[in-house]
Structure 1
Amino acid sequence: MIDLSSLLTYAPDTTIRKTERVVEEARARGDQTAFLSHSHTDAVYAKRVQAFLEAQGWRVYIDWEDATMPSKPDKETALKIKDRIKRLDWFLFLATKNSMSSRWCPWEIGIADGVKANERIIVIPTRDGYTNYGSEYLDLYRYIHSTTDGGFATFDAGRAQNGTMLRNMRR
């Protein structure tokens, strides 16, 4: 689990970018790319996750940063989200109270489950105080957990040992 308050230590890039172009350029360079599924209510945490991963050399797609997305969710939104999930290297699910009760987030993880290899789906389980979110996914998908040295590693579904540090993950 990752304590939500610890995410706030990462300074986000507050500029809104045309993320689709940035991600395509990253793919061309061979950088890791990821779709970040999250509740828009948790935008502050999503930007912090993006900042942390980008410091590790990843490029993280956040749908509301994409200028080509419709202003109001519709069928076009769903088609674009499906396309991004399919094309990007990784699918990340930021599990919070808000994303667990969202209408879109469970749909997105369902899409990812159907189009991505299981090892390409990573849950970011969180904790706010005494409540944990995302635990039900830990036996299904890889997940991120904080390490004793202050870093983050991914662990295979159902395992709590022999994680891979995020900076060492490859396409």
Structure 2
Amino acid sequence: MPISQSALFSAAASRTSKAHSRKRAGQPGAFLCHSNKDSKLAFGLQEMLKREGWDIYVDWRDPTMPETPDALTTSRIQNAIIRADWFLFLATENSILSRWCQWEIGYAEGRKQLERIAIVPTTDELGHYHGNEYLKLYNTIGNKPSGGLALYNMLGKGNRVSNL
């Protein structure tokens, strides 16, 4: 089930974590691919996953990143994708149109096991679903009917994200 963007905005408003903190032993870590135009949605997803025990890396919140994207930016993003346990793609209208996001998911696909790539489909305030382009190609993370978030495999079977 997709995550509503309003739920992500709400989670962002209740945000309690820093954008990037040191990962604890045993804690799943993920690189969050998203459009910079969706920073509040990214913060909301980061908060939701933090509540499930995840550490989420947001590249433009990393103080070691150059202010203007360049070759160093590309190298650091590549390294962050490789180091992360998971690669998550926050599917929105903006991220689907972003050349950077498309490059990042392509890079991740070449460097990570497909089981470690997940799309986070969303619905906007008009009810438009974002993420169809990737269904049945990758796992997805979405709302679990009984509450919380779940990782759904390509066949639709879900496990709570806190159990990964």
TM-score, normalized by length of structure 1?
0.88
* Stretches (4+) displaced over 6 A: none
State yes or no: 1:53 paired with 2:54.
no
8 Å CA contact 2:8, 2:40 repeated in 1: no
Query: 2:160 matched to which residue of 1?
Result: 165
Query: 1:149 matched to which residue of 2?
Result: 146
Give 5+ residue unaligned stretches, structure 2: none
Query: 2:76 matched to which residue of 1?
Result: 80
What is the SS of the residue equivalent to 1:8? helix
- Measured in 2, the distance between the counterparts of 1:33 and 1:15 equals 15
Query: 2:127 matched to which residue of 1?
Result: 130
- Measured in 2, the distance between the counterparts of 1:110 and 1:150 equals 31
TM-score, normalized by length of structure 2?
0.92
What root-mean-square deviation, in Å, do the aligned CA atoms of Structure 1 and Structure 2 show? 1.3
What is the SS of the residue equivalent to 1:50? helix
What is the SS of the residue equivalent to 2:44? helix
Q: Read off the aligned partner of 1:166 and give its amino acid letter.
A: V
Aligned-pair identity in percent equals 42
Query: 2:92 matched to which residue of 1?
Result: 96
- Measured in 2, the distance between the counterparts of 1:14 and 1:31 equals 15
Pairwise CA distance, 1:14: 6.4
Count of residues in Structure 1 that have an aligned counterpart in Structure 2: 160
Give 5+ residue unaligned stretches, structure 1: none
